[in-house]
Amino acid sequence: MDEAREKILKGAGGIPDREARRLSGGAVLALLGAALVLAVFGSFMLGRYPVSLGQLLGIIFHKLSFLNIEQTWTDTQAIAVLNVRLPRILLAVLVGACLSAAGAAYQGVFQNPMAAPDILGASAGAGFGAALAIFLGLGSVGVTAAAFGMSLVTVALVFFVSRRAKGERVMGLILAGIMISSLFQAGTSFIKLTADPTNKLPAITYWLMGSLVGADNEELRFVLWPMLLGLLPLLLLRWRLNVLTLGDSEARSLGVDAARLRPAVILCATLLTASSVSVSGMIGWVGLVIPHMMRRLTGSDYRYLMPASMLGGGGFLLLVDNLSRSLTSTEIPIGILTAFIGAPFFLLLITRRGEYNGRS
């Protein structure tokens, strides 16, 4: 019992903790929160219509309608802030937080540092649903709904197949996810092959590359509740994730029913992945790289790692989205930039001496 508790404090699951930390977990969370707030305010000022900090604060407080503020901004600036930048910034933060939290949860559940939000096929299912909706000529709401629904259906199918597979249940889940993902990826490829090359094929291809272009309040309202339903339980259960990383037998000795906790965590992570991909398209590397980056700051204790991953993921994707709409005159899909940034960083991470050992 004492040994198990010691593992929890040091971090477990085959993902090594840092031997020494310069800052406590609380200090790291405070710094990440402050950095995210600054990034959000800075993002409002970027764009075709420049908005100063004073104008931004005036637009926000004027909208709240409890202060009599002299208008120093134009109606165009107000529309750009409230109807264009606000939903996009909020979606960027939420999608980044959800993908990073889902990645951290999967890494703990499967005791594998290479686990990512698409490990159970949620992203592949969402891609198939979105491609089918675009092929059928559905609107943006239809595409979002189809991507979200097919993502959940895919994971449900993975669970159904894994329960009939022989051997270890966790390994059965992973293998079923790989196989089902391949099937839905093949279906997406077939839709692209038969789609109209003049308009539908480019739309499908662009959606699959990931982007927040066209983000609006309607999409934000659609995914807000599924995201909250996934994020809040993970925050409340984050200390139990520490126990779950020890294995079923040691978790049972500490009074945690891993057989019930694991599906609950997977369900929350699936909701986060499905809702994120349904509005942003296929954005990779966030759920893999950010939890590793945060683990270097907070250690493997999920009491700090989970909220740090949410804050870090939200800030990271917001910065990448700002780059995507500012680097060139034509907006670059976010999925391309996250791959350019995430892949080299992860290569550096895994090639550092002593970074991984044991089961990782």
In whole angstroms, give the CA distance from residue 25 to residue 21.
9
Q: CB 68: neighbour CB atoms within 10 A? A: 7
Q: Is residue 257 part of a domain?
A: yes
Using the CB atoms, write b or e for 185-218: b if 16+ within 10 Å.
bebbeebbeebeeeebbebbeebbbbbbeebbee
Per-residue pLDDT of the chain (360 residues; tens, 9 = 90+): 445 455 554 444 444 444 434 567 788 999 999 999 999 999 988 877 788 888 888 888 777 766 667 778 888 888 888 888 999 999 999 999 999 999 999 998 888 878 888 889 999 999 999 999 999 999 888 999 999 999 999 999 998 988 887 767 778 888 899 999 999 999 999 999 999 998 899 999 999 999 888 788 888 888 999 999 999 999 998 888 887 777 666 767 777 777 788 889 999 999 999 999 999 999 988 999 999 889 888 888 899 999 999 999 999 999 999 999 888 778 889 989 998 888 887 787 777 644 444 333
Among 123, 82, 100, which residue's Cα sits nearest to residue 208? Answer: 123
CB-CB contact of 198 with 187 (8 Å): no
Q: CB 348: neighbour CB atoms within 10 A? A: 10
In whole angstroms, give the CA distance from residue 285 to residue 103.
9
Using the CB atoms, write b or e for 309-346: b if 16+ within 10 Å.
bbbbbbbbbbbbbbbbbeeeeeebbbbbbbbebbeeeb
Q: Is residue 15 part of a domain?
A: yes
Residue 274: both structure tokens together: 């499905």
Place of tokens 């037998």: 249
Give backbone dihedrals phi and psi of 161, rounded to 5 degrees, phi first. -70, -40
Q: CB 136: neighbour CB atoms within 10 A? A: 12
Q: Is residue 359 part of a domain?
A: no
Task: Indicate the number of domains in the chain.
Answer: 1
Residue 298: both structure tokens together: 């907070």
CB-CB contact of 246 with 118 (8 Å): no
Q: Is residue 147 part of a domain?
A: yes
Q: Given this model, what pLDDT does residue 15 score? A: 45
DSSP 128-176: HHHHHHHHTT--HHHHHHHHHHHHHHHHHHHHHHHHTS-S-HHHHHHHH
Residue 317: both structure tokens together: 């994707």
Q: Given this model, what pLDDT does residue 273 score? A: 95
Give backbone dihedrals phi and psi of 13, rounded to 5 degrees, phi first. 85, 20
Q: Is residue 357 part of a domain?
A: no
Q: Given this model, what pLDDT does residue 97 score? A: 96
Q: Is residue 56 part of a domain?
A: yes
Task: Residue 23: give its domain's CATH number.
Answer: 1.10.3470.10
The residue range of the domain holding 247 is: 2-351
Instruction: Specify the pTM.
Output: 0.87
In whole angstroms, give the CA distance from residue 3 to residue 1.
5
Q: Is residue 358 part of a domain?
A: no
Q: Is residue 81 part of a domain?
A: yes
Total length of the chain: 360
CB-CB contact of 115 with 103 (8 Å): yes
Residue 13: both structure tokens together: 């699951």
